[in-house]
Structure 1
Amino acid sequence: MINNPQNFYQKVKSIPLGKNHSLSLGGSYRFQTEAFINEQFDKNQDQNDYWFLHRGMFHAHLQLGSKFEIFGELNSSPVSSKENISPVDKDELSINQFFARYQFNDNFNMLVGRQNMRLGTGRLIDVREGPNVRLSFDMAQLQYEDLNTKISGFYAIPVQQQFGVFDNDAFETDETLSVLYWTQKWSEKTNTDFYIFYKEEADKTWNSETANDYRTSFGLRHFGTWKGLNYNNEFVYQLGEFGSGTISAWTASFIIKKEFSASTPFTLGIKTEAISGDKNSNDKSLNTFDALYPRGAYFGRVARFGPSNLIDVHPYFKSKIGKVAIEFDYVAFWRFSANDGVYNPALMMDYPPENDERFIGNQIGAIAGYQLNNFINFELESNVIFPGTFLQHNNQGDTLYHFVFTTEIKF
């Protein structure tokens, strides 16, 4: 038997601490240059065309025997040359994750602490990898898992990001989330997710009104393969109270893709969804769908339109040639309701309903990525949005151009 000694990196990456304990270290650094032309579809506005985003993360994972573990992760996400900075752009230094997990037996475990999460396809809860600052929750979770079933229940409070050093607000009680999430594997080709989310949020603004939003989401996701096609379909219905009125909102999403084995393998796919908007701002029923905590770059990193009051059709093409990955996509956007506006990824209204037109615009995107090795990756993404009649009638008729270059190093 040949004994292969570990190099310095391998020794630091995983450090044994006695017979049954270990400490592993790791992290990443991501640098992005992002640029817009006509960011608000208006070439006459003052524009800050480009800025620089940095994100450094370092984690430590302590495993104590087979039942107990502690995971901690620091994040630093500065930004430069950008004037209008949002909470997803900058966080100088913070605790991104810090949790403890105890494994009661082969099936049950409990987690307490701060964690990033992604459930299902990330339609309602996602890590928010696209923006510079990830999304964290302070939470307590109980989980059951076997070969075919996974059930999680948790109570969580989203961390309110601030710009400074260790100044993120913890245990903010005006916004809470309770979740029961069940994933079931029925066969090798058929799976489902059933879930219930209950969210309380104070002073939420929809359309032209601000009030307390108490909302329950019932969801069903069906995913798997059928006759060589991969499918991922999801339906969510929401009810609850908004101020003195009621909530009745919904969304339906359909994703189908086909992978082709050729000399150069490629994938063709199409996504489409309908997301309800408010029918009448003067009645006592709110119909605007709340996507809760979705990924920030829902339709590419250009991130102009968020998943509320929307209909979209989104075909795409993916392939990989050696170490180079390419993707092309097209998205057409419409307003679901002409009485509701267009929201951004943070689910705040960017474009009020000032006319009756529904067609928002066409978006064309392209991504090219090069993986140098297991640690270093480069990616260039560009998007062009051609305004539709809704934006044009709001005097926002200039074509938007967006570019982002990303370098990521993992260790």
Structure 2
Amino acid sequence: MIDRTLRHKKQKRIKLKTYVKLMLSSTVCIVSFTSMSVAYAETDSAAITETETTSCPTRPKVLTNRWQENWDVLKQDCVPRKRGDQFKYIPFGHNNYLSLGANLRERIEINDRAKLGSGNTPKDGYLIQRLQIHADARIGEHLQVFTQLIDSRAFDKKNITPTDQNRFDVEQAFIAWVSPLHNGTFKFRVGRQEMAFDLQRFISNREGPNVRQPFDGIWSAYEFGDWRVLGYLTRPVQIDKDGYFNDFSNSNLSFSGFRVDKQNILGGELSGYYSRYQRDHGVFPNAAGHESRDLYDVRHLGKKNNIDWDIEAMLQYGDIGSKSISAWAGSSIAGYTFSDHVLKPRIALQLDAASGDRNPEDGELNTFNQLFANGSYFTLAGYTGYSNLIHVKPSITIKPTDQLTLMGALGLQWRETTRDAVYFQGNNSMNNTAGHGSKWTGSYIQLRADQKFNDNLSLAAEMVHFNVSDSIQKMGGDDSQYVGLELKYGW
């Protein structure tokens, strides 16, 4: 038994060393490639005159949504060239070009007692990797054809879910059209695409987890002045983590609606949207069956002097099985930045609340559906879901340099009602908690550092320690710890 335990510990150390070696080798390769890329190939920026600089467009930055980048600026001779630009701008025909690109994200995670120790979850250490490659064709002034492939892997993870792994598959493939219309701009996309609203509390591209969330459908918008009106008719893509090119969408899950945005209201932007969410086989601790929800969302964000804020609320009505649905959620983040201080400290307070089911016997489900929430909205650890929740989180952020950001936060968490369960990500609930225990769920400490080396390469580290309440411990939970180290490169 002792020998077996020693061998097991030795294997764990070997695996951890393997992860570190993989990260280090990836870092060396990426830094080497980046160092090569910063050299200018054809145009010496120092030779550009002041007159040329003022009229010359800047190079695009690598964005989260790669289809929003516009590389036709490389047709301007004054734009500095970097190695690899022959693939960022490939002209063909008349006024057309093709742009190629890629993203690579490597993240080591150590998660000790995931899901607050429920379900006999052991300590787990693993490497998750996400590779994306894309081709962006611009035809004329208005037409775009964008394709992005993804390969996400989870190495040595004990419990692999569809948010952890998606072997080589189509992440996005759509046709877009953008053109002037009357006094505004008309935009249209059809095909597989990503969609994210605001801070991605409820509708997100799921950047935090290893597999992002695409939608098959139609999206269109009209922008004029301070207004934007858009509509969407989609079927969210369901991930099949095994096999290749097998992700799918069907009528079992649909999400459609419309949205209106208005700038310059009360010192910021006011937006609202209505959506219809439908799925077969919805499951909650107190209800199951075909689920249909009408969603009403309103949000305001703004900034005045050193104060910034973001406030959002959503109501959900509908039915599931034989029960009606009435649920709600609200969130606010407000901060103050000491802009005159050398570290630019920002103190902030985040408040979140979402309804739970108050009476399992009344024929009405009050549990808020988290929809397509961003898995990293609270922390990367994923201990907190947006259902049956009261959440208070003060934080402080400093910037020792323009490229380095440090953040520390304290989270306090309760259940909105003890008649309903404790929830994690994706509407998953903790067993044996509905109708038992106290409202107090626990508290956590979050520390995070983000280092940006250049427009292409960044490094991030995050640590979370969640201290569960006594009643959660009595129901099979335990204190949980998470450590993550992430390297991200975009070309």
Q: TM-score, normalised by structure 2?
A: 0.80
Residue 313 of structure 1 deviates from its aligned partner by 0.3
Is the deviation greater in 334-343 or in 228-237? 228-237
Distance in 1 separating the partners of 2:118 and 2:225:
56
Distance in 1 separating the partners of 2:112 and 2:342:
38
What are the Cα deviations for residues 71-100 of structure 1, in whole angstroms up to 9, with x where unaligned?
110100011111211000001111111110
Residue 17 of structure 1 deviates from its aligned partner by 2.1
**Structure 1: any 5+ residue segments left out of the alignment?**
none
Distance in 1 separating the partners of 2:396 and 2:292:
39
Could you tell me which of 91, 99, 104 is aligned with 1:29? 104
Distance in 1 separating the partners of 2:270 and 2:464:
33
Q: Which residue of structure 2 lines up, in the alignment, with residue 363 of structure 1?
A: 444
Alignment of 1:384-395 (within 5 A): 384-395=465-476
Could you tell me which of 412, 428, 439 is aligned with 1:332? 412
Is the deviation greater in 109-118 or in 188-197? 188-197
Residue 326 of structure 1 deviates from its aligned partner by 0.7
Are 2:382 and 1:303 aligned? Answer: yes
Distance in 2 separating the partners of 1:42 and 1:102:
49
In proportion to residue count, which structure has more helix?
2
AA in 2 matched with 1:129: E
AA in 2 matched with 1:383: V
Question: What is the DSSP-based 3-state SS (H/G/I as helix, E as strand, rest coil) of the residue aligned with 1:346?
Answer: helix
Are 2:124 and 1:10 aligned? Answer: no
What are the Cα deviations for residues 141-167 of structure 1, in whole angstroms up to 9, with x where unaligned?
221112311111011101110123434
Q: Which residue of structure 2 lines up, in the alignment, with residue 317 of structure 1?
A: 396
Q: Which has the greater radius of gyration?
A: 2
Q: Percent identity?
A: 26
Equivalent pair of 1:211/1:242 in contact (CA under 8 Å)? yes
Q: Which residue of structure 2 lines up, in the alignment, with residue 377 of structure 1?
A: 458
Give the length in aligned residue pairs: 410
Alignment of 1:12-411 (within 5 A): 12-42=87-117, 45=120, 47-106=122-181, 107-187=185-265, 189-226=267-304, 228-261=306-339, 262-322=341-401, 323-351=403-431, 352-396=433-477, 398-411=478-491
Residue 229 of structure 1 deviates from its aligned partner by 1.4
Residue 348 of structure 1 deviates from its aligned partner by 1.6
In proportion to residue count, which structure has more strand?
1
RMSD: 1.9
Residue 69 of structure 1 deviates from its aligned partner by 0.5
When residues 44 and 206 of structure 1 are mapped into structure 2, their CA distance, relative to the original with a 3 A threshold, is: closer
Distance in 2 separating the partners of 1:344 and 1:217:
21
Residue 228 of structure 1 deviates from its aligned partner by 3.3
Distance in 2 separating the partners of 1:39 and 1:28:
28
AA in 1 matched with 2:461: L
Is the deviation greater in 46-55 or in 151-160? 46-55
When residues 44 and 312 of structure 1 are mapped into structure 2, their CA distance, relative to the original with a 3 A threshold, is: closer
Distance in 2 separating the partners of 1:172 and 1:282:
33
What are the Cα deviations for residues 292-313 of structure 1, in whole angstroms up to 9, with x where unaligned?
1111123110101200000000
When residues 176 and 345 of structure 1 are mapped into structure 2, their CA distance, relative to the original with a 3 A threshold, is: same
AA in 2 matched with 1:131: P
Residue 354 of structure 1 deviates from its aligned partner by 4.8
**Structure 2: any 5+ residue segments left out of the alignment?**
1-46, 49-76
Question: What is the DSSP-based 3-state SS (H/G/I as helix, E as strand, rest coil) of the residue aligned with 2:163?
Answer: coil
Distance in 2 separating the partners of 1:160 and 1:304:
22
When residues 193 and 264 of structure 1 are mapped into structure 2, their CA distance, relative to the original with a 3 A threshold, is: same
